[in-house]
Amino acid sequence: MARQTDGVRRLYGRGYRPRRVRSDPAKAVVFCVLLGLGAVGLWQRVGETVTGSGYAIDGDSLRLAGRELRLLGIDAPELHQTCERDGQSYSCGRIAQQALADFLRRGPLTCHIGERDRYGRGLATCTSGEADINAALVREGLAVSYGGYDAEENEARAARRGLWAGTFERPADWRHRHPR
């Protein structure tokens, strides 16, 4: 049976001896400390609550306290997405952005950040007063449920509110067809 180092010896000659790898305890401690600090930094940003005035980036993203947040559990039409109602095309993405901006102007905003998306944005559930903004956008038909607001989407669909009053492409499908 051939030993594992036989192939290496063939490459480097008969006199080759693999070096023994020695760990450096000081380097291991530094690595663990840096890893721990990174975890603490991430933990402090995830699971926090942020309050203040927000700015609508698009129909489901906002900037609050210097952070870009994405509204958790909903998906609004993209800013340049169009939809159709009564045979007419309209900018449903811009309308969704304006609706979010209107909610943000109603008063101080409180957002609970649970985790981050693949772009590094905080995924948040936001309220203004007693109103759950995420749920309200879906209930008004300005966004669709994206894993969290199925009852609100069913209500909007039944009442033919917003997007449900005409035809539209789900935002995730639209993004897939229109990559950046």
0.75 surpassed by pTM = no
pLDDT (0 to 100) of residue 148: 84
pLDDT (0 to 100) of residue 47: 84
pLDDT (0 to 100) of residue 41: 45
Q: Cα angle at 143 between 137 and 148, to 5 degrees?
A: 80
Is the Cβ–Cβ distance between 143 and 60 less than 8 Å? yes
pLDDT (0 to 100) of residue 133: 96
Positive/negative CA dihedral, 94, 95, 100, 106: positive
pLDDT (0 to 100) of residue 40: 42
Per-residue pLDDT in tens (0 to 9) along the chain, 180 residues: 555 555 545 555 566 565 665 666 655 555 544 555 444 444 445 589 999 999 999 999 999 999 999 999 999 999 999 999 999 999 999 999 999 999 999 989 999 999 999 989 999 999 998 899 999 999 999 999 998 899 999 999 999 999 999 999 999 999 999 887
Residue extents of the structural domains in the chain: 45-177
pLDDT (0 to 100) of residue 43: 41
Burial class (CB in 10 A: 0-12, 13-18, 19+), 73: buried
pLDDT (0 to 100) of residue 88: 96
Class of domain 45-177: mainly beta
